[in-house]
Amino acid sequence: MQLRHGLVVGWIVVALIISQGVSATPETRSGLCNCEAVRLLSMRSPPLKGPDVVELQERLTRLGFYRGPIDGIYGSTLAQAVKKMQATLGLPVNGKMDERTWEALALYETRPAGALLSPPTGEISILVDIDTQTLIVYSDGVPYKLYPVAIGKPESPTPAGEWVITEKAAGWQGATGIRWMRLSNPWGSYGIHGTNNPMSIGQMASAGCVRMFNEDVAELYEWVNIGALVVLKRGGTVSPMRALFKTGAVGQDVVYLQWRLRQLGFDPGRADGVFGEETARAVAAWQKYRGLKVSGVVDENLLFLFGLL
Amino acid sequence: MLATILTSLFCLALWLWWRLLPGRQIYPEIRPEKKYSVVLWDFDRPLAGHESYREELLSEIQAFNRDFPNIEVDVKLFPWDQGEQVATAILRRQDVPDVLSSGPIENLDFGRRVLLSPQHLTEESRLGYVPLAMSALEQGGEYAFWPRYIKPQLYLANTNLLQIAGVELSTLEQYGLGWADMLELGQKLSQLPARPFVLASFDYEGLLTAVAPREVEEASAASSNWPQKAAVTAAARLKQLQDRGFLPPNASQDNYSGVREFFAGQAALLAPAEPWLIRAVEGRSDRIERGLLDPGENRPFPTALIAPKLDPTSGLPAQVEVLVVFRRRRAADEIRAAVELAQHLSRSGTLSAKLDLLPAYGPSQDTWCEAWELGNEATLLQVCEHGRIVSPYPNTGLEGKDVLGRIK
């Protein structure tokens, strides 16, 4: 997946957006999930500082608009760079990073879509490998297309598990880009969406959602229906486990328990992070098969035997 | 003269009786031009890693069909928890297969429905099976079953704790662990600052078996239930361990009783250690080594398998899964087809490692060792080479708390 940038492409995309009149709301946080706020940046006294200013300086440096220091201070040099970019993109030139300018910057950075594939004809499912930050679309269980993605930061990890798409929304949504697909995760609001920061793709950058390039998510959006299976897979160590699992328990540790049960040959149903009847039945089947007293409850003893503690 | 004629007629009658009784015929050959059909009943089992037991079994049958392409095997798999229903159906003659894999069925007393196999399980072929497995197969003085898998029960020891306590591991490995050894171990462990426990287990009957393997043997020889005397002896020992603080506090509970203490390095022995439990312990260490699990404070430690201290003629608590051939057909060659299938399945070692069971057939052990992929296989195989089997977990008829409550 080679990233390419081009002024022509940027112009076309920006012109398209402006012509479509996509709203530039003052909202700074997506209402769809917990993704980061988009701060309005401008010259102020004292000057604005912060990681988003650093990010802006880096992005404008990469695009050739900014040649100053990467110091996280929104000074006059940076404001000039913003003006230069606004002029280039046909935006009102005011030196302010408002919602519309952020959006235009994101789309300007966006790579052109790769060779278009014909839509897959089989049943669509999605695998996101959190470790390699890739999303693979499957058609009838056969890999169809691979996309790079951004996943959650260490402090806001992407929830591993087996989810389904429960909601779809199109249109510019600020931090979630031009498309949004909600996942059925029971303990938070997570989804697959586009971005206002394409440079973050391939990094641990989100608040837990799966971020894609806008044109990628637009393509995927057309292929995926409500109810499609989305597996978010993570290797490495399991998260902290609670000491006792009973029916009704919800959380990331339940997903790891469900996956472990399946590895051991006992099917808990979809690893949906809910210790429901199917999971309890799988635990009971394991206990029965091993000749132990059947309780359907998982305590520390069982967690040790499962290799989860 | 008359005596000679009468004797000849008697011998002829005897031969005819032997020849015509189903399953008693002279060992016939499979006729290559004839099509045979054998009905196999088995129980579905979970296999790790998304594999299907049915598919694995079918691939074993495919291997069988390479030798006997004209024997068609009709496989019926029952859910694991339907052992009793299947046994009842056979006893009531509602339906009977040619070959049954015993799986979860504990009582295999099917009487005359079972084909006894002195002429099929010849002395020569018996040599291939490990002695521990063969000891379980007699019924009414004759071999009634083909052994398939073995589940011996041993002690799994935290060798770090044994070393710190000053207990000679090699001696225990050589001579086994007896009741006196257990008390001595407890005494030594109690001198340590952390006062680790002697024994952890996962159920009450397991604890009884662990502290009184000889009583298990006596109980096994006497009946399927623990004689009261043996149960009281075993429970008294448990009480003694508990009073001295050698057992985790929850050891008298019916269900899990201190597995976590063993994994946390707070108990020297885990028992009874069946192959699946050994694999669970080693599997956890393996997951930690591969970075799949952060053990926190509960770091893995080296382990060793120790057998119960029993005299050379005594048995080892173990379970054996077997294959049963039924008298379902009259034609001798058709019975032979069922016998060949039972023999083939009893000798395959491929599946046993995936099922956390030991193969009963010695020559399959190499395959088993490769597939097991974890340590401790040498000890496991070694214990099968001597002793005879006794049934573990005879029913006390008493709840754990009741028994301990009575021992004051």
- How close does chain A come to B323, measured CA to CA in Å? 19
pLDDT higher than threshold 50 for residue B23: no
One DSSP character per residue, B140-203 reads: TTEE-EEEEEEEE-EEEEEHHHHHHHT--HHHHHHH-B-HHHHHHHHHHHHTSTT--EEEEBSS
pLDDT higher than threshold 90 for residue B91: no
pLDDT higher than threshold 80 for residue B21: no
Contacts of A264 in chain B (CB under 8 A): 46, 48
A232-to-A32, A118, A158, B290 alpha-carbon distances in Å: 19, 25, 8, 21
Residues shown for chain A: 309
pLDDT band at B344 (very low <50, low <70, confident <90, very high): very high
Are B203 and A236 in contact (CB < 8 Å)? no
| A245 in a structural domain | no
| A114 in a structural domain | no
**What 8-state DSSP symbol labels residue B405?**
H
Regions in chain A scoring below 70 on pLDDT: 1-31, 36-37, 110-117, 239
Of B404 and B355, the one with more pLDDT: B355
Are B298 and A308 in contact (CB < 8 Å)? no
For residue B250, what pLDDT is reported? 72
Q: Which of A161, A275, A278, A173 lies closest to A218 in space, CA to CA? A: A173
| A115 in a structural domain | no
Tell me what percent of the residues of chain B surpass a pLDDT of 90.
24
Same domain? For A25 and A71 the reply is yes
B22: its two tokens: 């189903």
Indicate the residue of B48, B256, B294 with minimum beta-carbon distance to A263: B48
Q: Which of B108, B301, B273 lies closest to B196 in space, CA to CA? A: B301
What number is the average pLDDT over the span B337-354? 86
| A29 in a structural domain | yes
Range of B71-85, B197-211, B388-402 with top mean pLDDT:
B71-85
Q: Which of A287, A228, A238, A229 lies closest to A260 in space, CA to CA? A: A238
Same domain? For A82 and A131 the reply is no
For residue A23, what pLDDT is reported? 34
Q: What is the pLDDT of residues B134-148, one digit of tens each?
A: 766 665 566 667 889
Which sequence spans correspond to the domains of chain B?
32-151+318-379, 154-316+392-406
At position A237, the amino acid (one-letter code) is T
pLDDT band at B76 (very low <50, low <70, confident <90, very high): very high
Range of A48-52, B341-345, B402-406 with top mean pLDDT:
B341-345
Q: What is the pLDDT of residues B284-309, one digit of tens each?
A: 988 898 888 888 889 999 998 888 87
Q: Which of A150-164, A255-269, B71-85, B322-336 has the lowest mean pLDDT?
A: B322-336
| CATH code of residue A11 | 1.10.101.10
Q: How far, in Å, CA of A134 to CA of A150, rounded?
A: 8
Are A238 and B293 in contact (CB < 8 Å)? yes
What number is the average pLDDT over the span B56-62? 94
pLDDT band at B116 (very low <50, low <70, confident <90, very high): low
Do B154-316+392-406 and B32-151+318-379 have the same topology in CATH? yes
Strands annotated E in B249-347:
267-273, 303-306, 315-325
Indicate the residue of A291, A301, A307 with minimum beta-carbon distance to B259: A301
Would you say A165 and A224 are in contact if contact means Cβ atoms under 8 Å apart? yes
Q: Find the domain containing A277 and state its range.
A: 252-306
Contacts of A295 in chain B (CB under 8 A): 255
Q: In the annotation, is A35 catalytic?
A: no
Contacts of B141 (CB under 8 A, 6+ apart): none
Are B256 and A299 in contact (CB < 8 Å)? yes
For residue B404, what pLDDT is reported? 39
For residue A252, what pLDDT is reported? 94
pLDDT band at B209 (very low <50, low <70, confident <90, very high): confident
For domain B154-316+392-406, give the CATH superfamily.
Periplasmic binding protein-like II (3.40.190.10)
Structural domain count of chain A: 3
pLDDT higher than threshold 80 for residue B335: yes
Which residue(s) pair with B75 in the sheet? B40
Q: Which of B152, B218, B158, B210 lies closest to B377 in space, CA to CA? A: B152
| A118 in a structural domain | no
- How close does chain A come to B175, measured CA to CA in Å? 29
Size of interface A-B (CB pairs under 8 A): 75
| CATH code of residue A136 | 2.40.440.10
Q: What is the pLDDT of residues B358-389, one digit of tens each?
A: 888 888 887 777 777 666 666 677 666 655 44
Last residue within a domain, chosen from A109, A140, A170 = A109
Are B46 and A306 in contact (CB < 8 Å)? no
CATH of B32-151+318-379, picked from 3.40.190.10, 1.10.3720.10, 3.40.50.880, 3.30.470.30, is 3.40.190.10
Q: In the annotation, is A209 catalytic?
A: yes
Q: How far, in Å, CA of A184 to CA of A186, rounded?
A: 6
Q: Which of B76, B113, B132, B105 lies closest to B275 in space, CA to CA? A: B132
| A133 in a structural domain | yes
Q: Which of B197, B371, B376 lies closest to B303 in space, CA to CA? A: B376
Q: Among the options A5, A33, A35, A193, which is catalytic?
A: A193
